[in-house]
Amino acid sequence: MEETPLLPLLFLASLLSCNAHQAHLTVSPSSSQFFKGSLVTLHCEEDDGSAHSSFSLRRNTSKKLMIQCGDDFGIWSVSSCTISYIYTWDSGVYWCESKEGPISNMVNLTVTGGSVILQSPVLPVMEGDDVTLLCKTKTTPSNLPAAFYKDGSLIRKQPTGHMTIQHVSRSDEGLYKCDISGHGESPSSWITVTDRPATTVLPTSGTPETSQTSLHFDFTLIRYLVVFCPYFISTLIIVSLYQCRGNDPSISEPMSQGIE
């Protein structure tokens, strides 16, 4: 009877994962870097499409931790947070929360007082996809030639300020920045590459290398649990019912008699 204490635990775990709401945090305009003074909207989108007034959006910055949109910064309305004039001290990590805690992906935003930004994907990029990075200046409307760096080393010089990485793989993961001659350098941003979701079983390939990828991995795992938990619970109920009958002679005897 080794599995007996395990069953209620498993049952509880699956119940908890069933009740957990999941949401996606998206950023508009879609960029992880902004010029000071930009208008930025962050949106918490519930995965099942239902409305949840109990949502909130929180952030950690270098100055303040766990502060909430609507109370401490920005304007909160219909699951969206609008920051009408973003400052450099708004740089930080943002996420959506329900009463139970964080329920979405985390997003890093970097706000610069300088004149160059790198527009890179806010969300992790899926392995095999193409990714385009754009190096922009604050003052020049047209795209200027730019140099792109990964983990501190120059990787490419592009005449139009765009760089496309085709069929991204894990090795493309890293800290990117760009430089426009005569204008300056952008801040650095992480680009994270995730596995394509497996079609059959839980994704097991690839060891999470950074806290960021492991967070995303946990998120994927929770989503799988949510999908499989109705099946999981009914299996557990059947298994526990079966065990009760097997252990109780008063139940199993009439049953076997009935079969005979």
CB of 123 to ligand NAG, least distance (A): 9
Cβ atoms 146, 180 nearer than 8 A: yes
User: Is the Cβ of residue 60 or residue 143 nearer to ligand NAG in the bound state?
Assistant: 60
From 210, 214, 235, 252, residue interacting with ligand NAG (rule: CB under 6 A): 210
Distance CA 162, CA 166 (A): 13
Under rule CB under 6 A, which residues in 73-112 are in contact with ligand NAG? 93, 95, 106, 108
Is residue 212 a contact point for ligand NAG (CB under 6 A)? yes
**Structure tokens that stand for 92 in this block:** 């930080």
User: Is the Cβ of residue 94 or residue 232 nearer to ligand NAG in the bound state?
Assistant: 94
Is residue 30 a contact point for ligand NAG (CB under 6 A)? no
Distance CA 135, CA 34 (A): 12
Is residue 214 a contact point for ligand NAG (CB under 6 A)? no
Under rule CB under 6 A, which residues in 144-203 are in contact with ligand NAG? 190
User: Is the Cβ of residue 103 or residue 229 nearer to ligand NAG in the bound state?
Assistant: 103
CB of 67 to ligand NAG, least distance (A): 10
Is residue 66 a contact point for ligand NAG (CB under 6 A)? yes
Is residue 9 a contact point for ligand NAG (CB under 6 A)? no
Burial class (CB in 10 A: 0-12, 13-18, 19+), 216: buried
Strand locations in 168-253 (E): 174-180, 184-185, 189-191, 193-194
Distance CA 130, CA 164 (A): 7
Under rule CB under 6 A, which residues in 218-257 are in contact with ligand NAG? none
- Of the candidates 92, 26, 81, the one whose C-alpha atom is nearest the C-alpha of residue 59 is 92
Burial string for 158-186 (b: 16+ CB within 10 Å, else e) reads: beebebebeebeeebbbebbbbbeebebb
Which residues sit at the interface with ligand NAG, rule CB under 6 A? 60, 65-66, 93, 95, 106, 108, 190, 210-212
